Chain A
Amino acid sequence: MQKKRAYSFPDEVLEHVFSFIQSGKDRNAVSMVCKSWYEIERWCRRKVFIGNCYAVSPKMVIKRFPEVRSIELKGKPHFADFNLVPDGWGGYVLPWIVEMAGAYPWLEEIRLKRMVVTDESLELIAKSFKNFKVLVLFSCEGFSTDGLAAIAAGCKNLRELDLRESDVDDLSGHWLTHFPETCTSLVSLNISCLGSDEVSFSALERLVGRCPNLRSLRLNRAVSLDKIANILCLAPQLVDFGTGNYTTELQPDVLSNLTAAFSSCKELKSLSGFWDVVPAYLPALYPVCSRLTSLNLSYATIHSPEIIKLVSHCPSLQRLLVLDYIEDSGLEALASSCKDLQELRVFPSDPFGVEPNVSLTEKGLVSVSLGCPKLQSVLYFCRQMTNAALVTIAQNCPNFTRFRLCIIEPKTADYLTGEPLDVGFGAIVEHCKDLRRLSLSGLLTDRVFEYIGTYAKKLEMLSVAFAGDSDLGLHHVLSGCESLRKLEIRDCPFGDKAILANAAKLETMRSLWMSSCTVSFGACKLLGQKMHRLNVEVIDETEPPCSRLESCPVDKLYVYRSISGPRSDMPPFVWTMDEEGDNNSNQKDFFFLDMFVRNNHYISNSL
């Protein structure tokens, strides 16, 4: 009888309780308790995150969650960032927009990552969602400034327009003029990825001037330094600012104007941009440096002394992105000035050079690990490393959640001992119990994977390149890493056995990418045939894999779990392995036709 009472809360009470539960994970747990909770929860879920747009279809999402206001979708695999995924692979957002246009008229937020967004999609968004507020296009492509104009004109309550790292076709800088004069709602505008076509600066200035809530503004390279002072004076309430080009002809007034402008920004905490920096203008930043928590100098080709000077003014710094011009000496200075540092990313200034052009070694990272006890997230490009350094780093920083090390030359051994770096990375996973993301590099044997499988119990994402000796390595990871969600591998001697032996593990993960490994076509077919909840996709741009022997290795393999079956928008060079064998239901000629007809069909349907 007591059980019955538990079920007799009115729905509204439960709904109210659930409204305090924001995390998707908790909401999923709630939905599994019993049928009535499932029903109540699904009607009041407002935010959905879909890590792989092909794992579930838009119709399924809509059917289950009828009242969504915010959606986040991710498309291409991570290695697409490095040109490993051929153009045309997929990740089209239009089918989603079309379905949501009908089902979610009150949709407010769309966040996309690595998806193909067309102008048609943007126009449809502008037209369909009357209360649309937030558009974030992270590393997306396929659209132009025409689509942006539609968004600017159509979304009356737009709060956020963030195009970070997207590839936009700049047809005209005048899209900014499409923001109506009545638009005063902007809170965040990030156009840093736009090309060097002129941005209509007067339109930008007017827009900034009439949006009192603007907190985040990131300009693109086309905006020159002399214009920044004006912008800052119009928006002293900015919290996050991205400069354009940090250069202009040397004039006496520029520095003083700029310094005054920065001084007026009492809330400024985050700076980025800094293309083409003229060091003489850096002192303009000093008034804000003491409050800065985030500084992105990764485009700034300034040298170590200038970087040190700047960074030593920033004691509150929590996040620093910088080029390797900072060198070991700069990192040492960083370690002594910035005790609150949590995230450090050091990018290579000359990634393709054979000889090091700067003096940045493992010592720099060791100094930071020693001096910055709160360090949690590291991305470090360098040319040499030792096991001893990695062990020291691991011991100094047991709180790492993300550790990504890229030794530029593949298969580089410990330069002092000549040994593989297994022990070093082993120390990282052993000491850093909360490690969620790890990227390996250097000379590595199967041993490092044994360490990872044994210790990295919270690891969610692992990136591997040019490492390992045999399938045993992969088996360690697949069988040992309980929390693994994403695994991406390139150029490793991993073949069929580990994957087939751990096939069921793949259903517990979001995705697996393997390129230039030794997985055979036969194994892919087997996997696809037997594992019905996995989409096993083989990518081969030269010829169909079935034209070769089954034992031939496939070029690229992408396996992901899905409850909506194989996708139907594959280009000719992608084959899905399923019960019917290798399948590309879209012959080459049909694909292109299909794609465009479908695009037009959707548009006409929605009108």
Chain B
Amino acid sequence: MLNQQGRGGMWVALCFEFASSWIERKEVFLSNLEMESDCSKNEETCPQLLDLIPQEREWYTKRKDGKIHLSSEEKKLELRLGPPGGDDNWSIKLNAKNNRERDEPVISLGYLSSMNNNGKQAPKFPSPEDHHHPVGSVLSPSWTKTHHHDHQQLTNPPFLQFPSTPHQSLPVTAKESSQSCCTKAVNMNAEEKPFSPTANTVAPPNTSLKRSAPGPVVGWPPIRSFRKNLATSSSSKPASEPPHKAANEKKGAEPSAKFVKINMDGVPIGRKVDLKAYDSYEKLSAAVDELFRGLLAAQRDSCAGGIVKKVEEEKTITGLLDGSGEYTLVYEDNEGDRMLVGDVPWHMFVSTVQRLRVLKSSELSALSLGSSRQGKIPA
């Protein structure tokens, strides 16, 4: 660089340096994004440092028509999804208020650019998206027409021209697609979902959907599991509630799932089971077998010299409940005691169990287990 003659020469050299490292810069930029700061505490600091950047950066040039010229290499990076021969498809007829944004890169990058120009200078700092067509979308109107399957009846107006009456969304489309699915897809889990997607798209948006009989929903209300049973597990119950108030007794008050951790001797990573999915000890035992059979076999194989081979044989885990098998199922109750699984009625078990363990039966005799208060395993 120092050898270049004159200012022009130096400038060319600088351009060279920056242009050739464009790919690296993009990587730097992207990796910076991944190593974003946890900026929740700080206000967005105005990047004063960017003012140091000279104005005449020329690693991209604009053609006269304002379109961005790309080198052949960079064209590879460009995201082109419209049908060929129509860059103008990207000036999509969006909502009127979005139109002004079409002139600049659509993608705003937080601290780098601003969608709301409001007379502010567009940032000089290049972003990868400068080299793309204003790629707002993966979908362009004609794309919609050609690629949707037969059920689509989307013609005019194209989807991206959002109608001014927002409530006329596209129930047709959504409805068709969900109808063509097997119902299994809609009811994914065993848990009852009061708002299946079908119901949501078909229901007229103006009515408030009131459920007549509220049912439990997975993960709702959004509280952590350790906050769930405070009122019942606490020994000092609030005076206003009857002494034996249990969440189970109220209709609809039952949580839809009870996840407990389950660990198995010899398997480093524990799992979780939802006890509400079973109604008997036999079913639980079968589930435990299924859960750990593969893990146990894999662990055995990996311990035997680390040879990578397909798992040929998985032994069924049996006899968990009666002491006859290689492993036995025990649990910890809400008092911290360790008990054999199977002694108390199922419902009582479900309400008091905090954690499950699958222990080697051979080690059980060394520990004093009990089905009553006396059996307490030393810590």
Task: Tell me which residues from 532 to 563 in chain A have a Cβ below 8 Å from any Cβ of chain B.
Answer: 533, 540-543, 548-553, 555, 561-563
Decide if B149 touches A551 in the complex (CB within 8 Å). yes
Task: Tell me which residues from 209 to 243 in chain B have a Cβ below 8 Å from any Cβ of chain A.
Answer: 209-211, 214, 216-228, 230-231, 234-241
Does A295 sit at the interface, judged by CB under 8 A? no
Does A14 sit at the interface, judged by CB under 8 A? no
Does A197 sit at the interface, judged by CB under 8 A? yes
**Which residues of chain B come closer than 8 Å to A141, judged between CB atoms?**
270
Q: Which of A52, A142, A472 contacts B162 (CB 8 A)?
A: A472
**Interface pick from B61-69, B164-172, B322-330, B365-373:** B164-172
Decide if A518 touches B298 in the complex (CB within 8 Å). no
Chain B nearest CB from A137 CB (Å) reads 15
Identify the closest chain B residue to A325 (Cβ).
B238
Does B364 sit at the interface, judged by CB under 8 A? no
Does B174 sit at the interface, judged by CB under 8 A? yes
Does A56 sit at the interface, judged by CB under 8 A? yes
Decide if B188 touches A555 in the complex (CB within 8 Å). yes
**Which residues of chain B come closer than 8 Å to A301, judged between CB atoms?**
230-231, 234, 236-238
The verdict on A518 contacting B177 (CB below 8 Å), with A563-B27, A599-B268 known, is: yes
Decide if A482 touches B115 in the complex (CB within 8 Å). yes
Identify the closest chain A residue to B272 (Cβ).
A87
Q: Which of B54, B181, B226, B335 contacts A548 (CB 8 A)?
A: B181
**Interface pick from A205-213, A259-267, A352-360, A575-583:** A352-360
B232-274 near A? 1/0 per residue, CB < 8 Å: 0011111111000001001111110101010100001111100
Does B28 sit at the interface, judged by CB under 8 A? yes
B116-152 near A? 1/0 per residue, CB < 8 Å: 1000000001000100100111110000000001010
Does B348 sit at the interface, judged by CB under 8 A? no
> How many residues of A are in contact with the other chain, CB < 8 A?
158
**Which residues of chain A come closer than 8 Å to B169, judged between CB atoms?**
446, 469-472
CA distance A595 to B39 in the complex (A): 34
Chain A nearest CB from B247 CB (Å) reads 6
Task: Tell me which residues from 407 to 432 in chain A have a Cβ below 8 Å from any Cβ of chain B.
Answer: 408-411, 413, 418, 420
Decide if A518 touches B219 in the complex (CB within 8 Å). no
Q: Which of A61, A446, A596 contacts B298 (CB 8 A)?
A: A596
The verdict on A347 contacting B227 (CB below 8 Å), with A353-B250, A497-B139 known, is: yes
Chain B nearest CB from A441 CB (Å) reads 9
Does A452 sit at the interface, judged by CB under 8 A? no
The verdict on A32 contacting B33 (CB below 8 Å), with A465-B220, A518-B201, A549-B181 known, is: no
CA distance A331 to B53 in the complex (A): 53
CA distance A507 to B26 in the complex (A): 14
Task: Tell me which residues from 329 to 376 in chain A have a Cβ below 8 Å from any Cβ of chain B.
Answer: 347-355, 357
The verdict on A446 contacting B167 (CB below 8 Å), with A29-B47, A492-B200, A553-B185 known, is: yes
**Which residues of chain B come closer than 8 Å to A299, judged between CB atoms?**
227, 230
Decide if A173 touches B197 in the complex (CB within 8 Å). no
Does A15 sit at the interface, judged by CB under 8 A? no
Chain B nearest CB from A264 CB (Å) reads 27
CA distance A52 to B40 in the complex (A): 16
Chain A nearest CB from B276 CB (Å) reads 12
**Interface pick from A155-163, A229-237, A271-279, A384-392:** A271-279
Does B96 sit at the interface, judged by CB under 8 A? no
**Interface pick from A97-105, A112-120, A180-188, A286-294:** A112-120
Does B98 sit at the interface, judged by CB under 8 A? yes
**Which residues of chain B come closer than 8 Å to A517, judged between CB atoms?**
197
Decide if B177 touches A551 in the complex (CB within 8 Å). yes
**Which residues of chain B come closer than 8 Å to A323, judged between CB atoms?**
230
Does B350 sit at the interface, judged by CB under 8 A? no
Chain A nearest CB from B75 CB (Å) reads 15
Decide if A552 touches B182 in the complex (CB within 8 Å). yes
Identify the closest chain B residue to A381 (Cβ).
B221
Decide if A174 touches B272 in the complex (CB within 8 Å). no
Does A592 sit at the interface, judged by CB under 8 A? yes
Does A600 sit at the interface, judged by CB under 8 A? yes
Chain B nearest CB from A327 CB (Å) reads 11
The verdict on A357 contacting B241 (CB below 8 Å), with A32-B29, A83-B218 known, is: yes
CA distance A23 to B41 in the complex (A): 10
Task: Tell me which residues from 44 to 98 in chain A have a Cβ below 8 Å from any Cβ of chain B.
Answer: 48-52, 55-56, 60-61, 64, 72, 79, 81-84, 87-88
Identify the closest chain A residue to B268 (Cβ).
A118
CA distance A352 to B223 in the complex (A): 11
CA distance A516 to B81 in the complex (A): 28
The verdict on A60 contacting B36 (CB below 8 Å), with A25-B45, A497-B170, A597-B308 known, is: no
Does B31 sit at the interface, judged by CB under 8 A? yes
Decide if B270 touches A593 in the complex (CB within 8 Å). no
Does B42 sit at the interface, judged by CB under 8 A? yes
Decide if A354 touches B47 in the complex (CB within 8 Å). no
Decide if B174 touches A495 in the complex (CB within 8 Å). yes
Q: Which of A406, A439, A470, A595 contacts B205 (CB 8 A)?
A: A470
Decide if A410 touches B54 in the complex (CB within 8 Å). no
Does A165 sit at the interface, judged by CB under 8 A? yes
Decide if B107 touches A505 in the complex (CB within 8 Å). yes
Identify the closest chain A residue to B291 (Cβ).
A87
CA distance A51 to B33 in the complex (A): 10
**Interface pick from B277-285, B299-307, B339-347:** B299-307
A228-266 near B? 1/0 per residue, CB < 8 Å: 000000000000000000010000000000000000000
Decide if A353 touches B174 in the complex (CB within 8 Å). no
Decide if B28 touches A82 in the complex (CB within 8 Å). no
The verdict on A411 contacting B308 (CB below 8 Å), with A533-B30, A596-B298, A600-B302 known, is: no
Q: Which of B107, B167, B253 contacts A352 (CB 8 A)?
A: B253
Decide if A64 touches B31 in the complex (CB within 8 Å). yes
**Which residues of chain A come closer than 8 Å to B240, judged between CB atoms?**
303, 357
Decide if A471 touches B49 in the complex (CB within 8 Å). no
Task: Tell me which residues from 315 to 339 in chain B have a Cβ below 8 Å from any Cβ of chain A.
Answer: 332, 335-336
**Which residues of chain A come closer than 8 Å to B33, judged between CB atoms?**
561
Does B160 sit at the interface, judged by CB under 8 A? yes
Identify the closest chain B residue to A301 (Cβ).
B234
**Which residues of chain A come closer than 8 Å to B309, judged between CB atoms?**
593
**Which residues of chain A come closer than 8 Å to B224, judged between CB atoms?**
81-82, 165
Does A590 sit at the interface, judged by CB under 8 A? yes
The verdict on A553 contacting B239 (CB below 8 Å), with A24-B35, A592-B298 known, is: no
Decide if B236 touches A552 in the complex (CB within 8 Å). no
Chain A nearest CB from B99 CB (Å) reads 12
Identify the closest chain B residue to A171 (Cβ).
B379
The verdict on A24 contacting B195 (CB below 8 Å), with A33-B52, A413-B208, A420-B208 known, is: no
Does B91 sit at the interface, judged by CB under 8 A? no
The verdict on A51 contacting B38 (CB below 8 Å), with A353-B250, A411-B209, A500-B138 known, is: yes
Does A285 sit at the interface, judged by CB under 8 A? no
The verdict on A592 contacting B295 (CB below 8 Å), with A323-B230, A411-B210, A501-B138 known, is: yes
CA distance A596 to B132 in the complex (A): 43
**Interface pick from A126-134, A312-320, A523-531:** A523-531
Does A601 sit at the interface, judged by CB under 8 A? yes
Q: Which of A56, A198, A446, A505 contacts B379 (CB 8 A)?
A: A198
CA distance A298 to B228 in the complex (A): 11
A to B CB contacts below 8 Å, 9 in the list: A28-B32, A88-B271, A351-B221, A352-B216, A406-B221, A469-B205, A472-B169, A482-B110, A553-B197
Q: Known contacts A83-B219, A301-B237, A595-B269; can you find 4 more A-B pairs with CB under 8 A?
A: A4-B10, A347-B223, A350-B231, A408-B221
For the complex of A and B, the 10 pairs showing the least CB-CB separation, nearest first, are A470-B169, A24-B37, A82-B219, A493-B200, A469-B205, A552-B181, A28-B32, A503-B138, A196-B336, A592-B298
Measured CB to CB, the residues of B under 8 A from A are 2, 10, 17, 21, 25, 27-40, 42, 44-45, 47, 49-50, 52-54, 79, 81, 98, 106-111, 114-116, 125, 129, 132, 135-139, 149, 151, 159-160, 162, 166-167, 169-171, 173-174, 176-178, 180-182, 184-186, 188-189, 193-195, 197, 200-201, 205, 208-211, 214, 216-228, 230-231, 234-241, 247, 250-255, 257, 259, 261, 263, 268-272, 294-295, 298-299, 301-303, 306, 308-311, 332, 335-336, 354-355, 379
